[in-house]
Amino acid sequence: MFQDQLSLMGVLNVTPDSFYDGGRHHSKEKAFSHALQMIQEGADIIDIGGESTRPGAQIVSPEEECDRVIPVIEKLKQETDTPISIDSRHTAVIKAALDAGAVFVNDVYALQDDGALATVAAANVPVCLMHMQGTPESMQNRPHYQDVLQELYHFFIERIVACEQAGIAREKIWLDPGFGFGKTLDHNLTLLTNLSFFKTLGCPLLIGLSRKSMFGEILNKPADERLHGTLAATMVAALQDVSIIRTHDVAATKDILTVARAIKPYLQRREQADVCTA
């Protein structure tokens, strides 16, 4: 599906309480034109979500979630060739989105909802399994790990096995450490600097850092002033083994990825030289 080693996933929130667009893209037309803009800026895939998973966000029914995302998916499917991903933790929404033409499932619940595994297996589409400690309502309430890397590693193994038992091939599975989903700043930075720890699982990594609270904590700035901080951290990730970056800021992130691609062979050469002189 993706030509390059590093691909860009543009975030399209179709939520009235969205942290970033403040509901500006709530209507179908506005959501559509925002998606077109991200495509023009270089998004390889558009990730559509109708539920805010921010702590304290309003709970919406799967019906309401479908009402928000399905018309946008249908319009994008009619008017563009860009692959569409559904960002949902609810089986009913995932199923409806796949029927409407989504070709990728991005699940912050890692297919733990009833029937989610079977739905994705039947559709034979790639899926991103994200790690979250707790639920969106409780996750930032004292996140705790003995060893954050080990615990995520074991969670991923458990979910990969569940996927394979349900008939989802490992080649179709992407993994995401879930920055900010039940993690302190220390957990987030440990994960950011150890992404290659997960490579032995044999699945591409997807990461979502865009404008998250960790940058609010480091910079003491609100969500709409976290772009530069996000880009700096994105560079750290891009120089490791990451395959997809999920972002609200496609044009800026694309530049970062292009620079990372230029730098990477030099880092690899230096690593080889270090091995030879060791």
Binding site for ligand YH5 (CB under 6 A): 19, 53-54, 87, 106, 108, 128, 130, 176, 178-179, 206, 208, 210-213, 223, 246
Nearer to ligand YH5, 183 or 267 (CB): 183
Least spacing, CB of residue 106 vs ligand YH5, in Å: 5
Minimum distance of ligand YH5 from residue 138's CB (angstroms) = 15
| Residue 87 DSSP label | E
User: Of the candidates 50, 112, 62, which has an alpha carbon nearest to the alpha carbon of residue 86?
Assistant: 50
Report in angstroms how near the CB of residue 51 gets to ligand YH5 at its nearest: 9
Number of helices and strands in the chain (H, E): 9, 8
Catalytic residue, from 89, 211, 212, 226: name it: 212
User: Which residue number places its CB atom closest to ligand YH5?
Assistant: 208
Query: Measured from the CB atom, is 32 or 174 closer to ligand YH5?
Result: 174
- Please report the DSSP string for 243-274 in residue order: -EEEES-HHHHHHHHHHHHHHHHHHHHHHHHH
Shortest Å distance, C-beta 172 to ligand YH5: 15
Q: How far is the CB of 237 from ligand YH5 (least distance, A)?
A: 11
**Gap between the Cα atoms of 260 and 276, Å rounded:** 24
Q: Which is nearer to ligand YH5, 11 or 76 (CB)?
A: 11
Known active-site residue 95 = no
Among residues 25, 51, 52, the alpha carbon closest in space to that of 38 is found at 25
CA distance 102 to 94: 9
- Residue from 246, 254, 264, 269 carrying the catalytic annotation: 246
Nearer to ligand YH5, 123 or 214 (CB): 214
Distance (Å) of CA 170 to CA 124, 175, 201, 278: 12, 11, 9, 36
Q: How far is CA 103 from CA 44, 61, 106, in A?
A: 12, 23, 10
Q: Catalytic annotation on 68?
A: no
Is the Cβ of residue 219 or residue 267 nearer to ligand YH5 in the bound state?
219
Query: Position of tokens 């091939």?
Result: 169
Q: Which residues are catalytic?
A: 212, 246
